[in-house]
Structure 1
C-alpha cells in the first residue's frame, strides 16, 4: 500500500482513538481494541486474519508484562500495607536531620516509587508530606509535595516494573529489561537533584491559595514525628526510654501498630534486592562468555521476573510475619494488589495489539520512515511520537505503547546496539512524562491532594515534568553521540 495512504490511516486511527478516549470516555482497553480492528481493516488485512493478529499482539505483550507488573504490584502491595513507605520516610528524615526534611522525603519517595504505582505511592505519602512541610515551616504542602509527586511519576514512566516501560521494552527488546532498569535508575538519580532545585526555584516558600478542605487539613497537621521516640522505635531505632507508659498502662493501639511495623533497613533491602539481582545478570552478560555456565546462572538470577518473584516471596514471609499477619491475611493482601494491576495489564496488552497491527500493516514503517527521511534521528523520533500521544490523550501507558508500535519495525530491523535500543526505550518513557497537563490523571492526583488550583498545577506540575523530561532527553542525546 502507498506509504502516504498508510500515514493517512495512522493519522485517522490516532484521531479516532483520541475521540473515543477523551470525548466519548471509552475505557482505554476497549478503545485500543476497536482502533486496532479498524486500522487492520483500513490497511487491507484479510478479515479472517484480524483476530489471530490481535491474539498474537496481546499474547506477545502480556508474556513479560503480566509477570513483571503482577509481581511488582504484589511486592508494592505488601510494602504499602505494612507501612513501609512511612518507615522509609521517617528513617530518611532521622538520618538527614530536621533541616533537610524535603530532601529526606524526596529520597524516600524515589525508593517507594520503584515497586509501587504512582497514584498509590503518592497517596500513601500525603500525610507525611503535610507533616514534614509543616515542620519545615512552609505555608503550603506544595513546596514539599510537588517535587515528590513529579519525581515519583518520572520513575513510574522510566523504571520497570511499571507497565508503560515494561510494555515498550517487550516490544523493542525484551532481553533488555535489566539494562533498561539500571539505566532508568541511573537517570533518576540526577533528576532527583534537579527536581529538588527546580522546586526550590519555582515554588520556594511562595503562597498558594489552597482549597478550603486541604487548607484546614494542613492547618491541623501536627509537627513531623520523625524525632519522636515512638517513630524511632517503629523504624528500627533505639529510643532512650524503654517505651513503657509512665502511668503503668499497656501500649495504646497506635503504639502497638507502630511496634509491628518493619524496620526501614528491611524495607529498603527488599526494594533493592531485585535491582541488585538484575544488576548481577546484566554485568554477568558483559563479563562472562555467552552460553557458559556462569553466564547462564547469572542470567537466570538476574532475570527481572525471577528477581521480583524472589523479592515477593521474601517480603511475604518477613513483612507478613513481622506485621503479625496470618497466612490468610497475607494471601488477601497479595491477591488484593492484583485487582488494580489487572486493569493496567489488560490496557497494556491492548496497547500491544495496536502496536502489532501498526507493525504488520506497515503503518509504523511508513510513519517512522517518513520522519527518518526528513532527517529526524530515531532517538528524537521515539521521544516526539510519545510526547505527541501524551499531550493529546494524557495516558502515559497508551502514549508509550503507541509510540513503541510506530517505531518497532525500524528499531527491530535496524542495526542498533543493545545500549542504543535501551536509550530509545527510555526516550519513549521521557516523552510519556513530559508536558503532562489536565488530561493526565497524575495531574489531578497531585494537585487535588495538595489543594492546588488548575493554574497553579500547570505552573508547577506541568513545568516540572517538562523540565525533567527534556533535560533527561538531552542527557540521552549526549550518550547517543558518545556510543
Structure 2
C-alpha cells in the first residue's frame, strides 16, 4: 500500500498547489503528514522523519544555497550578468544560447553539485531570457534543467554517474567513454525537442512565469521594475568592473570544486585538497570575493541592498527546499524501496531489452517516489547489482539504463524542484512545465541509445 499512498501524496501536493492555490510549504507538510500516517510510519516516526529530513537537507545544501544566492545578488548589483549576456549574444547569437548553456552544464560542470549549478546558472539564464524571445525564459530554464541532470547521471565525475559505476563495478574509464557522448547528446536533443514544444504553445508567460525577480535589488522592487533584464532602471547601471574580474567569484569556486573532484577520482586527494575543494569552502571564497568587489566598486549602501535582497531570497528557498526534503524522508521511511527489491530478480535471464527496460523502470519509479535523482540511482543500482551475474547484459548498459531512468520527471517531492522554481523565477505550474517536462523528455530520449548500447556491448 505504500506505493498507493506515495502516489496519493504526490498528487495531493500538485493538486493543493495548482488547483487549491495553497502555499507549497503548507502543501508539502500536509502531504508528508498524510503519507506518514496513512502508510503506517506512525505518529512519532512521521514527525521524526519530517524534522530529520528537513535537517539533513539543510546540513547538505543550506550553506551552498545561502552563499550561492548571495554571490548572485552581489554580482547582479554589479551588472555582471548583463555584461555576460552581451558577450554571449555577440559571440553566439540569441537562438544558440539555450544550446550553449545546456552543452556547458552537461560536460564542463558535472563535478559541481547540482544545487550549486542551478544557483550559479539561474542568474545567467534569467538575464539572457529577454534576448532569446517571448519564450526565452522557458527555453533557457529547460536547457538548465536538462543540462544539469544529463551531466549529473551520465558524465564522470557527476555524483550519480560515479555512484552507479561503483555499485555495478563498471570501470570509470569505461563509463566515461559512453557518458561523455550520451550526456551532452541527451541534453542537446532534449533542448531541441523542448524548443519545438514551446513554439507549439506549451508555455504561457502569464501563468508560468513569476512576477518577481529573486535577484532584483531593493530599488527595483520599489520602482516596480524587478526582473526587466538588461533594460532595468538607471539605479542598476553597470559599475566599472571588467567582466573577467567580476566573474572571478563564480569561476574560482568552480575551479576549486572541480580540482577537488578530479583529485578524489584520480586518487591523489588529501585533507588539504579536500578542504580546498569542498563546495561550502569554495562558495564562501566566492562570496568573499563578490563582497570585496561590490564594496570596492559600488560602495557600502548598494552592497547592503544587494545582500538584503539575497538574504530575503535565501530564506524563502531554504524553507521550501527543507520541506521538500521532509517529504522525501517520509517516503523513505515507508520502505518503498523494499517493495521494489524483488522485481528485478524475478526477471533474471530475461531478454536484453526486457532487462534494460526493467532497470530503467525501477530507477524511474524510485525517483518519482523519493524525489532525489542520486538516491533513486544509488538505490536502483543497489537493488539490481546482485542480479547482474544472472543477466546476459553488459553492466555498463544496465548502469546507463539506471542513470536514464533516475532522471525521469523530477517533480514536487524534490527539493531541487523548489530551488529551481524560486531561482528561475517561474511559478509551480511553470516549473512542472519546464523542469519536470525536460527531465521526462531527457530520460526518454536517452533510453533508445542505451538499448542500442546493450545490444552491441
TM-score when scaled to structure 1?
0.59
Aligned partner of 1:313 in structure 2 is 288
Q: What runs of 5+ residues in structure 2 fail to find an aligned partner?
A: 106-115, 153-157, 165-171, 207-232, 348-354, 387-395, 412-416
**Conserved 8 A contact 1:84-1:264:** yes
Are the counterparts in 1 of residues 102 and 147 from structure 2 also a CA contact under 8 Å? no
Q: Deviations over 1:341-360 (max 9, x none)?
A: 32222222222222222222
1:257 to 203, 226, 237: 237
1:168-317 equivalences under 5 Å are 190=185, 193-194=188-189, 257-258=237-238, 260-288=239-267, 294-317=269-292
The answer to whether the 8 A contact 1:74-1:312 is kept is yes
Q: Does the 8 A contact of 1:359 with 1:365 survive in 2?
A: no
Three-state SS of the structure 2 residue aligned to 1:66 is helix
Q: CA 1:446–1:72 in 2, change beyond 3 Å: closer, same or farther?
A: closer
Task: Select which of 86, 90, 96 maps to 2:86.
Answer: 90
2:322 to 320, 331, 349: 349
Of the three residues 29, 34, 37, the one matched with 1:38 is: 34
Partner Cα distance (1:211, 1:49) in 2: 42
Contact residue 111 and residue 271 of structure 1 kept, 8 A? no
The answer to which of 69-78 and 421-430 deviates more is 421-430
Q: CA deviation at 1:63?
A: 0.5
In 2: Cα distance, 1:211 partner to 1:42 partner: 38
* CA 1:346–1:211: 2 relative to 1, 3 Å: closer
- Is the 1:118–1:153 contact (alpha carbons within 8 Å) kept by the matching residues of 2? no
Answer whether contact 2:98 2:139 (CA < 8 A) is retained. no
- Residues 1:203 and 1:337: Cα distance change in structure 2 (over 3 Å): closer
Task: Answer whether contact 2:74 2:307 (CA < 8 A) is retained.
Answer: yes
Q: CA deviation at 1:92?
A: 2.7
Name the structure 1 match of 2:371.
400
- Deviation of 1:124 (Å): 2.8
Rounded to whole Å, the distance in 2 between the matches of 1:423 and 1:68 is: 30
Give, in angstroms, the shift of residue 89 of structure 1: 1.8
Tell me if 1:152 matches 2:144. yes
Deviation per residue, 1:351-395 (Å, 9 max, x gap): 222222222231343256557757654454333554x68xxxxxx
Q: Which residue of 2 aligns with 1:65?
A: 61
Specify which of 125, 129, 132 is matched with residue 128 of structure 2. Answer: 125
Q: Is the 8 A contact 1:368 1:406 kept in 2?
A: no
TM-score (norm 2): 0.62
368, 381, 385: which one aligns with 2:362: 381
Shift of 1:189: 5.0
Aligned residues of 1:9 and 1:363 also touching (Cα < 8 A): no
The answer as to whether partners of 1:9 and 1:43 remain within 8 angstroms in 2 is yes
Q: Does 1:102 align with 2:83?
A: no
| Cα distance in 2, alignment partners of residues 154 and 325 from structure 1 | 36
Rate the CA distance shift 1:60–1:43 in 2: closer, same or farther, 3 A. Answer: same
Contact 2:257-2:277 within 8 A present in 1 as well: yes
Query: Aligned partners of 2:339 and 2:197: how far apart in 1?
Result: 42
User: How far 1:88 sits from its partner (Å)?
Assistant: 0.9
Contact 1:84 1:261 in 2 (8 A): no
- Picking from 288, 309, 312, the partner of 1:339 is 312
8 Å Cα contact 1:359/1:406 also seen in 2: no
Q: Within the alignment, does 1:20 sit opposite 2:16 as a pair?
A: yes
Q: Using a 3 Å threshold, how does the CA distance of structure 1 residues 407 and 38 change in structure 2: closer, same or farther?
A: farther
Cα gap change, 1:117 to 1:469, in 2 (>3 Å): farther
Task: Render the CA deviation track for 1:182-214: whole Å, top value 9, x for unaligned.
Answer: 99999875566546765887889x999x999xx
Are residues 49 and 301 of structure 1, via their aligned partners in 2, closer, same or farther at CA, if it must alter by over 3 Å? same
**Alignment partner of 1:431: what SS?**
coil
Q: Could you say what the CA RMSD is over the residues aligned between the two structures, in angstroms?
A: 5.3
Q: Would you say the 8 A contact 2:66–2:314 is kept in 1?
A: yes
Q: Please, which moves more after superposition, 49-58 or 149-158?
A: 149-158
- Flag the 1:49–1:286 CA change in 2: closer, same or farther, 3 A: closer
User: 2:444 — aligned with what?
Assistant: 470
Cα offset, 1:429, TM superposition: 4.4
Change (3 A) 1:295 1:262: same
CA displacement at 1:280 relative to structure 2: 1.0
